[in-house]
Structure 1
Amino acid sequence: MSSFKQPALSVVDGSGGDAPAPSPSFSAGDLAHALGLGTNLLVGRFRVDLMSGSWWWSDEIYTMHGWKRHEVEPCLEALRSRKHPDDRSRIVRAAAEAMREGRPFACSHRIVDRKGRTRSVVVIGQGLRGGPDQAPELVGYVVDATPVQKEALTRRSEGVVTRAFVSQAVIEQAKGVVMAVRGVDDETAGHLLLEAANRVSIPLRLAADQVMTRLHAESEEPGITQAALTRALDGVEPVGRPRGHDPLLTRRPRKVAG
């Protein structure tokens, strides 16, 4: 099928005629900053003649589905075959409403490409109602948002790993202090910290952090003594419990009979 030509852009002047677009007063960098352009995404265009049912796709749509142009004829069934089974109904409803009402639509869903890889795409389109001699069309874009999703997952994973590393470092530091002061092995030191944490029902990391904080607060003493370590272990306390939950504070006072 022959490609649809993109219409040339023009600016309508006040007299009703077409005038050439004025040169922009901003740079490409200004525009990129204003639009928040970041990760480069694969964007494809599509157009559907709703009267004849004929389709046209740009090369990018073939690429994101894992096809080459000569391997498949653009059609509804070809797209449907690549939709993720859990997402098929959503795009169908959105597109049908756009064709019926001629208004813009946008929705996200997943596709499974030819190699079995799941991709997240965003479809943006609009139903166009032409004149009396023009067939209605559905036109729009398909954006492969998979790189953005992967970046978000990577940042989240890195954050989880970082927090886990910091958490373990605090625990190991506290265990090292207990081993040095009490003269016990690694397992016994860990057990002592765990006992302190379980006593007030808080995570081991928070207990270790409290122990180290209390020991640093007594740093004026020469070294860490047995007594200081005992006070730190015994001083581990619950966290995040609002005082308003204390029944002695929330209990209503009894009325005194006059």
Structure 2
Amino acid sequence: MAIETELGPTSESGAPHRVGGFLYHRIGDRWEWSDAVARIHGYAPGQIVPTTKLLLSHKHPDDLRHVTQTLHAIRTSGGPFSSRHRIIDTTGATRSVVVVGDRIVDESGDVVGSSGFYIDITESVGPTVKESVDEMVNEITVSRSVIEQAKGMLMVVYEIPADRAFDILVWRSQETNTKLKSVAEQLITRVRGNFHVSTVLRNRFDQILLHH
């Protein structure tokens, strides 16, 4: 599964927010992170494969207990989560990050992992920190919601699982050189304007909804 990354908007102080994605797979206790997240930790893209042990080794000692509990929750129960803590990169510099994510489920509804974003807020200072983080978290939430809607449409129409639907969106994003969120938004808009469900199909759906 691809991880979309981009440079986020600047805060009121003018400092850019570095944003990158991550994936956690329960099977194999396996992590993936984007190039941006690798750089936040001080690594070059592709330099190292992230592991739970590696992630914990970068946490600030004063935040280690909190982060350990968060990681345990991600690896076991799943569910939405957010954490603001500090990490120490490979140069020894301390960076402040916000990590936001949610569980990943398969076509059967079973939790198979987690996905989310790191937001590097190191250069955000003063009273702008909370506002800028809230803006970023809200943007991420909206983006995820739009992408999930588009995935759902593809899953129903083509009778495919969630990961294949996501692959289609990523393919269109690469083919058109368009952000993944924009591809999802365009698909939703066009479907609403050009795709009409017949009365027969709607009645069948009503019956499934009301009698399941």
Return the TM-score normalized by structure 2.
Answer: 0.50
Higher strand proportion (structure 1 or 2): 2
Return the TM-score normalized by structure 1.
Answer: 0.42
Q: Relative contact order (C-alpha < 8 Å, sep 6+): which is higher?
A: 2
